[in-house]
């Protein structure tokens, strides 16, 4: 869906996807039910090419890049790694493709990441394939240390998630205050949150208990 094409079905006036009523003709709207999709060219990082992204070229000893395999992340118990990548934008999506190799391993993809000096903020979609569940959080951290999070969607069972050792694609989309989640190309959640409106996409992985290994194969992002 192209945001420029969103208009009131009654009078044709431009509206936002979070609008409940047209400001011109006062007609009721239900635009939050639309399915978001990227229509412009995407920026793609193919980790299986063997090239090391400049964001992880230094400073991340837990990361290695292996040709035909991908970006291999080895995390300690309870650790997490998120890598901002790309230019900031308001409305768009970030998609991550990879697989987890341990029961406590998880894949993370985020939007609207903001680096405000010592503090970092953003939206994060987390998936745990071994448990077939995902969640969405609004997080904050200071000096790379978690400082709090708000759960927008708690851990939710998802039959679209494939098992540990199989490739999964997770995607977070945002338009205005509307957030949507796609798992392996299927729309599985719609949320509304106006807190963060602008920032960069990011990718990463988490350990939700014991040490965990994750292999990321592809990361891409694009505008709506």
Q: End-to-end CA distance of the chain: give it in Å, rounded.
A: 6
Q: Please tell me the predicted confidence (pLDDT) of residue 144.
A: 60
Which distant-in-sequence residues (6+ apart) come within 8 Å of 115 by Cβ? Answer: 84
Which of 219, 176, 147 is CA-nearest to residue 137?
147
pTM of the model: 0.84
**Using one digit for the tens of pLDDT, what is the confidence trace for 125-158?**
999 999 999 999 998 777 666 667 899 999 999 9
Counting as low any pLDDT under 70, the low residues of the chain are 1-7, 9, 12, 14-20, 29-35, 37-40, 55, 57-59, 143-147
Give residue 2's pLDDT.
Answer: 43
Q: How far apart are CA 95 and CA 213, in angstroms?
A: 19
CB atoms within 10 A of CB 209: 14
Q: What CATH architecture does domain 37-223 belong to?
A: Sandwich (2.60)
**Nearest Cα to 95, choosing from 154, 180, 176, 177?**
180
pLDDT in tens, 2-11: 444 456 767 7
Which residues, at least 6 apart from 58, have a Cβ–Cβ distance to it below 8 Å? Answer: none
| Residue 205 and residue 214 in contact, taking contact as beta carbons nearer than 8 Å | yes
Q: Where are the domains of the chain?
A: 1-34, 37-223
């Amino acid at each position: 869906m192209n945001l420029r094409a969103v208009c009131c079905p009654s009078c044709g006036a431009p509206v936002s996807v979070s609008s409940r009523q047209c400001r011109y003709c006062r007609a009721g709207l239900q635009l939050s039910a639309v399915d978001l999709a990227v229509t412009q060219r995407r920026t793609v990082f193919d980790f299986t090419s063997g090239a090391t992204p400049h964001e992880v070229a230094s400073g991340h000893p837990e990361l290695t890049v292996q040709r035909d395999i991908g970006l291999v992340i080895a995390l300690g118990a309870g650790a997490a790694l998120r890598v901002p990548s790309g230019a900031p934008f308001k409305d768009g999506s970030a998609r991550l493709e990879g697989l987890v190799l341990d029961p406590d391993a998880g894949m993370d993809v985020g939007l609207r990441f903001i680096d405000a000096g010592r503090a970092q903020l953003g939206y994060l979609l987390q998936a745990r394939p071994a448990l077939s569940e995902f969640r969405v959080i609004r997080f904050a951290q200071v000096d790379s240390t978690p400082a709090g999070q708000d759960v927008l969607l708690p851990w939710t069972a998802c039959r679209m998630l494939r098992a540990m050792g199989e490739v999964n694609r997770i995607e977070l989309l945002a338009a205005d205050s509307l957030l949507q989640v796609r798992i392996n190309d299927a729309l599985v959640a719609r949320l509304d949150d106006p807190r963060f409106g602008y920032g960069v996409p990011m990718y990463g992985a988490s350990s939700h208990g014991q040490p965990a290994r994750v292999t990321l194969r592809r990361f891409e992002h694009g505008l709506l």
